[in-house]
Structure 1
């Protein structure tokens, strides 16, 4: 169905090729997971499938890419629309209509599908992705996760022969991600659709993949069975790391696989107290106190009389299904967003009653659409401006960026970076100011496991200095490894709040992979297990 014949590609001005001598043969009905570190070339590989690379990106392409026998060199991307459906990393950037129903129908209209068939497929797609209640909603009023499901639905409705998805579950809560992947699997198994998925949250997709395409970052692509390649590649989900720590053969690719090995490990860990997943720095002193916060948009109430206290030295993960009010709460706490009622106190002041520059000095916010905060022409300029605005030492922002996404070229325009690299840059810009309270909305979207660990260390450094961090996230593995506390929202109200292990281990939806494997033992991360297994035995009591 898809062939790459000695394909190489170099962006203009780049010191090395993004793709180098790639040879691939992907058959009909295969689900291929594309993996690799941030900036390794995953989006470039996906864009080459229908000719977006190089026609819309610029650069030099050598070799030949064909889909169903049609070569991308002789057919523009619009002539592949009936064959290849593509969903990019930024759903909002791809919308062309105003409402959910119109967006689902638009692609089919361009393919001249008859109205009766269009109506039937719209209804099927609404039900398949669980978004029927959003039918008439304006796209810009949806949460990031809801927008992502609509973007996927607009492509699914056209029934393409090839489906290309770039980070399709990055903004979805665990349950919504499972629903979307179930719909994709149905297309693969029942209709023979060929699917390529680039996904940093490999734990969600790996168990379903027929093949793994791993990009080590040197332009090449390693192609093989997931079980074979996972033995030695440097990006791997927690369940694989757990298998490596425990010495399991073959390595498990799913929680179900791991639980077959788990009884002996659970027996070894029974009675052992898990070491803390994070080093606690909490002082108990409130850094932010919110009381009776209500946020409403017209008659729709997003946050309902909510009380929340963030304490100095603590990282709090804010979780909940898509549309539960997480982003609305963050904007209300920062002071820039609407607040119908309630108060917020930080260092004796309410950010909502201060000038914008004064509010930012108390509470920093990185929104979901983080790239909107980038406005200069190069990465170097963005970093220098961040240092100047924050009165930080020159090079502070660049050093943070290197920790989050090493090797980002300083002369590149921010819009030419990958989604993960852009997010890392925005995070570095905001963290340079190190305000008393930092609010982060889905900060790990587009970040690989290594970048997330580096970012987690940065967050822990912030709270070690006495700050408080609130992270709205669907990334349960990141929350397990980074947060001291988890707060769960549902319909704008807090339904769970407590220590990370207590909240996550008791939730089937939000439990990390290690917790599912070792249940009922309260372990969260592979690092905890590794620490316990390598610790010297406790000395016997002296008689």
Structure 2
């Protein structure tokens, strides 16, 4: 169905090819998982399947790519639309209509599908992806996860032979991600659709894959069955890392497989002292933000319901919950920029211990109390170069008539992500670099409270580990850090405390080890495999097996 023959891709101005001499065949009805670190060429590989590379991206493609017998070099994307459906990382980039139902029908309208067939396919897709209750909703009103499901549905209605998905679950909570992936596997198994799927959250998708396409770097591509590829790959989901640490053969790819092999390991770990994932607080942590009775509503529909919350300096809090539970609305209300129908927020302002409500201050003053990084960091980037962004951040953070004693935005960025050139355009940065730049912009105002809304979207395992280091450093400086996330593995490693929201209410609040292991939805893979033992990460297990090192 998909054939790469000695394919190389070189972009204008680049000294090395992104892909080099790739020979690859993906058969009809296969679900092929594309893995690799950020920047190794995954998006280029996916783009070559429907002709985006090189017709729209530029550069030069050598060799030959054929999809269902069509040469993509001779057929631009519009001539492949009936064969290849593509869903990108950001669903908003692909929407062309106003409502859910209209978006699902749009692709079929362009392909001149009969009205009766269109109606039937729309209904099928609404049910398949759990969108029936949203059919008349405006797209801009949907949560990020709901938008992602609509984007996938808009492609499925055209019944393509090949489906290309670039991080389809990046914005979804665990339950919604499971629903989408189950729908995709039904297309593979029941209809013979060929799926090419790139995803950084391997723990969600690896069990469904028939083939893994690994890009180790240097333009190379390796392909094989998942268990063989992950035996030696530099990246792997936690369940595979646990299998490696325990010496299991064959390597497990799912919780079920791992549980079948885990009994001897559980016996070996039973009675051992479990290393802490994060060091306990050495002294009482001061309260930096207090919220009481915070409520948010949009057009009369409640999004946050009388929430009370305290955030402490030196503590990292993970804010979790399904899509649409009110997490982003709460963060914006705490920061002061978002709507707040009722309630009170007080943030410690200055060493004297006085407090202020960010909503009652000018924007610059609110930034000095609470910094917020939105789901799409580029929303805060509007200059033509990194240097201009950093200089503007310093100017905005300057307090009139006061001496600046804090680090500049450039110094902060160099600490977070060294080596980013001044002249590069912010939108040309990797996802991790964009996040670091926005963090530097926000931290230049030296806020005591920092709120991060879904910062792990688009980040691979290495970048997430770097983000954990950044978050730890911010907490060590005495800041209160909140990370809104669907990434349970990240929360297990990064958070001291987990707050879970549902329908605008806080339904759980406590230490990470207690809250996430109590829920089968939010528990990390290691916790599910080794339950009832209180392990969260492979690092904890390895520390015990190796003789008691740090987790």
TM-score by length of 2: 0.93
- Within 5 Å, give how 1:470-489 maps onto structure 2: 470-489=482-501
Q: Answer yes or no: is 1:173 the counterpart of 2:173.
A: yes
Structure 1 Cα separation of the partners of residues 159 and 535 of structure 2: 42
Q: Cα gap change, 1:447/1:210 in structure 2, threshold over 3 Å: closer, same or farther?
A: same
Structure 2 Cα separation of the partners of residues 381 and 3 of structure 1: 44
Q: CA deviation at 1:140?
A: 0.6
Deviations 1:347-405 (A, max 9, x none): 101011111011111111111121111222234544555466555247424424537xx
- Within 5 Å, give how 1:399-418 maps onto structure 2: 399-402=414-417, 411-418=423-430
Contact 1:89 1:419 in 2 (8 A): no
In structure 2, the residue matched to 1:54 is 54
Structure 2 Cα separation of the partners of residues 225 and 323 of structure 1: 36
Instruction: Between 42-51 and 272-281, report the one with greater CA deviation.
Output: 272-281
Q: Cα gap change, 1:432/1:168 in structure 2, threshold over 3 Å: closer, same or farther?
A: farther
Q: Cα gap change, 1:426/1:19 in structure 2, threshold over 3 Å: closer, same or farther?
A: farther
Contact 1:291 1:306 in 2 (8 A): yes
Q: CA deviation at 1:427?
A: 3.6
Structure 1 Cα separation of the partners of residues 74 and 385 of structure 2: 34
In structure 2, the residue matched to 1:361 is 368
Q: CA deviation at 1:40?
A: 1.3
In structure 2, the residue matched to 1:541 is none
Structure 1 Cα separation of the partners of residues 8 and 443 of structure 2: 37
In structure 2, the residue matched to 1:3 is 3
Q: Cα gap change, 1:193/1:503 in structure 2, threshold over 3 Å: closer, same or farther?
A: same
Q: Answer yes or no: is 1:288 the counterpart of 2:303.
A: no
Q: Answer yes or no: is 1:456 the counterpart of 2:456.
A: no
Contact 2:413 2:436 in 1 (8 A): no
Q: Cα gap change, 1:445/1:110 in structure 2, threshold over 3 Å: closer, same or farther?
A: same
- Within 5 Å, give how 1:49-448 maps onto structure 2: 49-281=49-281, 283-347=284-348, 348-383=355-390, 385-386=392-393, 392-393=407-408, 395-402=410-417, 411-448=423-460
Instruction: Between 425-434 and 41-50, report the one with greater CA deviation.
Output: 425-434
Q: Cα gap change, 1:388/1:449 in structure 2, threshold over 3 Å: closer, same or farther?
A: farther
Instruction: Between 365-374 and 302-311, report the one with greater CA deviation.
Output: 365-374
Instruction: Between 179-188 and 126-135, report the one with greater CA deviation.
Output: 126-135
Q: CA deviation at 1:421?
A: 4.4
Contact 1:331 1:337 in 2 (8 A): yes
Equivalenced residue count is 534
Contact 1:489 1:495 in 2 (8 A): yes
Contact 1:280 1:314 in 2 (8 A): no
Instruction: Between 525-534 and 502-511, report the one with greater CA deviation.
Output: 525-534
Q: Cα gap change, 1:363/1:510 in structure 2, threshold over 3 Å: closer, same or farther?
A: same
Q: Cα gap change, 1:32/1:360 in structure 2, threshold over 3 Å: closer, same or farther?
A: same
Structure 1 Cα separation of the partners of residues 72 and 421 of structure 2: 29
Contact 1:383 1:397 in 2 (8 A): no
Q: Cα gap change, 1:139/1:394 in structure 2, threshold over 3 Å: closer, same or farther?
A: closer
Q: CA deviation at 1:420?
A: 4.8
Gaps of 5+ in 1: 538-543
Contact 1:165 1:198 in 2 (8 A): yes
Q: Cα gap change, 1:380/1:61 in structure 2, threshold over 3 Å: closer, same or farther?
A: farther
Deviations 1:282-326 (A, max 9, x none): 733211111100000012100011101111111111111100000
In structure 1, the residue matched to 2:403 is none
Gaps of 5+ in 2: 349-354, 398-405
Structure 1 Cα separation of the partners of residues 227 and 523 of structure 2: 24
Contact 1:420 1:445 in 2 (8 A): no
Instruction: Between 222-231 and 54-63, report the one with greater CA deviation.
Output: 54-63
Q: Cα gap change, 1:400/1:387 in structure 2, threshold over 3 Å: closer, same or farther?
A: farther
Q: CA deviation at 1:77?
A: 0.6
Contact 1:39 1:421 in 2 (8 A): no
TM-score by length of 1: 0.95
Structure 2 Cα separation of the partners of residues 209 and 418 of structure 1: 26
Q: Answer yes or no: is 1:519 the counterpart of 2:534.
A: no
Q: Answer yes or no: is 1:496 the counterpart of 2:508.
A: yes
Q: Cα gap change, 1:375/1:351 in structure 2, threshold over 3 Å: closer, same or farther?
A: same
Contact 2:364 2:396 in 1 (8 A): no
Structure 2 Cα separation of the partners of residues 218 and 386 of structure 1: 36
Structure 1 Cα separation of the partners of residues 463 and 294 of structure 2: 34
Structure 2 Cα separation of the partners of residues 483 and 45 of structure 1: 35
Instruction: Between 224-233 and 379-388, report the one with greater CA deviation.
Output: 379-388
Structure 2 Cα separation of the partners of residues 286 and 369 of structure 1: 29
Deviations 1:32-67 (A, max 9, x none): 111011111111111111111122222222222111
Structure 1 Cα separation of the partners of residues 409 and 491 of structure 2: 32
Contact 1:283 1:313 in 2 (8 A): no
Structure 2 Cα separation of the partners of residues 434 and 229 of structure 1: 45
Q: Cα gap change, 1:434/1:29 in structure 2, threshold over 3 Å: closer, same or farther?
A: farther
Q: CA deviation at 1:428?
A: 4.4
Deviations 1:208-259 (A, max 9, x none): 1111111112111111111111111111111111112222222211111111
Q: Cα gap change, 1:429/1:8 in structure 2, threshold over 3 Å: closer, same or farther?
A: farther
Deviations 1:73-112 (A, max 9, x none): 1111111110010000110111000111111111111111
Q: Cα gap change, 1:4/1:536 in structure 2, threshold over 3 Å: closer, same or farther?
A: closer
